[in-house]
A and B are shown apart, each in its own frame.
Chain A
Amino acid sequence: MTSGTTRSAVAVFRDQYAELMRSAFLIDLQYRASIAIWLIWGVTEPIISLGIWWSIAAAGAVDGFTREAFAQYFFGVALVNQATLSWDAWNIDRWIREGEMNYRLTRPIAPIHEAIADNVAYKGPTATIILSAWIIAAAFWPAVRIPFEPAHWALAIVAIVLAAAIRFLNGYATGLLAFWTTRATALVELQFGISLFLSGRIAPLSLLPPRVAEVAGYLWFPYVLSFPVQVLTGTITTTAQYVRGFAGQVIWLAIWLMLYLLVWSRGRRHYGAVGG
C-alpha cells in the first residue's frame, strides 16, 4: 500500500490524461481511411481558394499579394486549420441527445478532458501529415517555400497552440448550449460561416473591405487562423504586430475559458434539473 496513498493528485491526473490520449489514438488508428477522407475534406477549401486567387493574380500582384504569397498563405491556412479544427459541438450534441452525457458526468474527470485528449491525439498526427505534404510540395514547387527561420517557427508553434485552444474552447462552450437548445450546432456553423471572412479563411484579411477587417480585429476570429498563418509565413515583421497578435490571443483565450466555465457550471445544473 505505498503507491495508492502517496501519489499526488497531479500524477493521477497525468496518468488519466495519458490513458485518455492512448485510447483516443487507438480509436483513430481503427478509422485510418475515414481520417484520410476528413484530411482531403479539410484541405480542399484552401486549395480552391488558392486556385481562384492564383488565377486572379495572373495579371499581377493583388494588393501586394503575389501568386507565391497566396500559395504560401493558403498552405499555411491548410496546416493551421488542421491543427485548430473544432468538432466537439457535434459530439456534445450527441452526448446530450442520446444520454451519453450521463455516464460522463459520473466520471471523476470532467468530459472536457476527454475532448482535449481526443483533440491532441487526432491533430498531432494529422497536422504532421499536412506538414509533410507541404515539405514534399516545397521540394518541387518553389512558390510554397517559406523562409527557414527557427525563431519564427517557434513563435508560430506557440501561436498555433494558442489558436487551437481558443477555437476548441469556443466550439466546446458553444456546443454546451445544447443543454438548453437542440440547435447549438447551428450556432457553431453560423460562426464558421462568419469565419470564412473574418478569420481570413478564403482570403487574407488585408483583401477584405477595410471596415470589415477592422471589425474582425475586435473579435477572436483573426487570432485563430489569420495571425498564426502570418507568423508562420513570415509576413508579420514588427514587434508591435507580434505583441498585438499574442495579446489578442491571450485575451480571447481567457474570455472563452471563462465562458466555458460559466456555461459548464450553469448547464450541468440545468441538465440535472431536467433529467432529475
Chain B
Amino acid sequence: MTSIRRTATVLRAFWQLNWLEELQYRGNFIASLLGTVFWLLMAILTAALYFRHTSRLGGWEFWDVVVLLGIFNALAGVVEAVLRPGIGHLPADVRSGALDLVLVRPVDAQFYVSFRRLDVWRFADVVLGLALAGYAFVQTGRPIGAWELITFVVTFAVAIAVVYAIWVALMSLAFWFVAVENMAALFDALFEAARNPVSAYPGALRFLFVYLIPIAWTTTIPASALTGRLRPALALWALAVGIAAIGASRLLWRVALTRYTSAGG
C-alpha cells in the first residue's frame, strides 16, 4: 500500500511541474483546440455524407452516430493527453536505455511510465467530445434514464481501460522489435475504425473489431449505452472486458520487462 501512495506522491509532483511548464505554451492550446474543432467538423460531415445515401448506418440514426463521434473525440483526447506522451514514449526509452532510470526508482514502473507526463491542453478534447455527445443526445430526442447514465459511465471507463491495454500491448512490442519507432501509427490507423458503429461494417470486419482488435468496446458500446440500445448482458460483458484488459496489460508488461536488457543488450 505504501508503494502505491509513494507512486501517487511522485506523480503529483511531476504533474505540478508538467502543468507549470505547459502554462508557458498557451498558444498551443488555441492551435490544438482549433485543430480538434476542424477534425470534429470533418467527422460530422463524413457521417452526413453517409446519411445522404442511407437513412440508417448499421441500425443507427444520424444523431446516434454523432453521439458516438463525441465519445470518439473524448477518448482520442485521453489518448493525446495521457497515453501518447506517457506510454507512447516507451519504445524510445527502450531503444536509448533511458528505461534504466525508471526501473531503479522505488515506484511502480508501469504506473510511472504510463502517467509520467500529461499533455494537459488535450483534456479540452475530452470536454469537447463529451459536450458534443451530450448535444447530439438531446437531438436524438431520447429520454435520459438512470440506467443509461450509469451504464454509460461504466462502459466509458471500460473504453478507457481497453484503449490503455491496446497501447500497452503495442508499445510493449518495442521490447521485441527495438527498431520499430512508429508503433503509435498502428493505433491511429486501427482507432480510425472506431468512428463508426461496428454494426455498420460487413461481417468479417465486425468480427475483427469485436474479438481481435477490440475497438468495438471503445466507442460503440458506450454510445449504445447512452442511446439506450445496450442489453444488460452486454453491459456485464463490457465490465468483464474492462477488467480483463487491465489484467492483460499488467501481465503483458511483466512478461515484456523480462526481455529488457538495457540499450545495446
Contacts and interface: CB of A to CB of B under 8 A. Distances in A.
Decide whether A and B are members of one complex.
Answer: yes
Interface of A: 30-31, 33-34, 37-38, 40-41, 44-45, 47-48, 51-52, 54-56, 59, 62-63, 183, 186, 189-190, 193, 196-197, 202-203, 207-209
B189 interface: yes
Nearest to A41: B189
A183 B35 CA distance: 11
B206 to A, nearest CB: 9
A55 B53 contact: no
B52 A209 contact: yes
A103 B89 CA distance: 30
Given A41-B185, A197-B49, A203-B49, A55 B38 contact: no
A53 B196 CA distance: 12
B138 interface: no
Nearest to A56: B54
Contact of B46 (A37, A51, A202): A202
A207 B53 contact: yes
B263 interface: no
A30 B38 CA distance: 36
Interface stretch (B71-79, B174-182, B220-228, B231-239): B174-182
Contacts of A202: 46, 49
Contacts of A54: 202
A77 B186 CA distance: 20
Contacts of A62: 53-54
Nearest to A201: B46
Interface of B: 31, 35, 38-39, 42, 45-46, 49-50, 52-54, 57-58, 177, 179-183, 185-186, 188-190, 192-193, 195-196, 200-202, 205
Given A62-B53, A193-B39, A52 B200 contact: yes
A48 B185 contact: no
23 contacts: A33-B177, A33-B179, A34-B181, A37-B180, A37-B182, A37-B186, A38-B182, A41-B185, A48-B192, A48-B193, A51-B205, A55-B201, A56-B50, A56-B53, A62-B53, A62-B54, A186-B35, A190-B38, A197-B45, A202-B46, A202-B49, A207-B53, A209-B52
Contacts of B46: 196-197, 202
A-B CB proximity, top 6 nearest:
A44-B189, A41-B189, A51-B201, A33-B180, A56-B54, A41-B185
Contacts of B180: 33-34, 37
Contact of B201 (A44, A52, A59, A197): A52
A55 B197 CA distance: 12
Contacts of B185: 37-38, 41
A51 B202 contact: yes
Given A34-B181, A37-B180, A47-B205, 11 more contacts: A34-B180, A38-B182, A48-B192, A51-B202, A52-B200, A54-B202, A55-B57, A190-B38, A193-B39, A202-B46, A207-B49
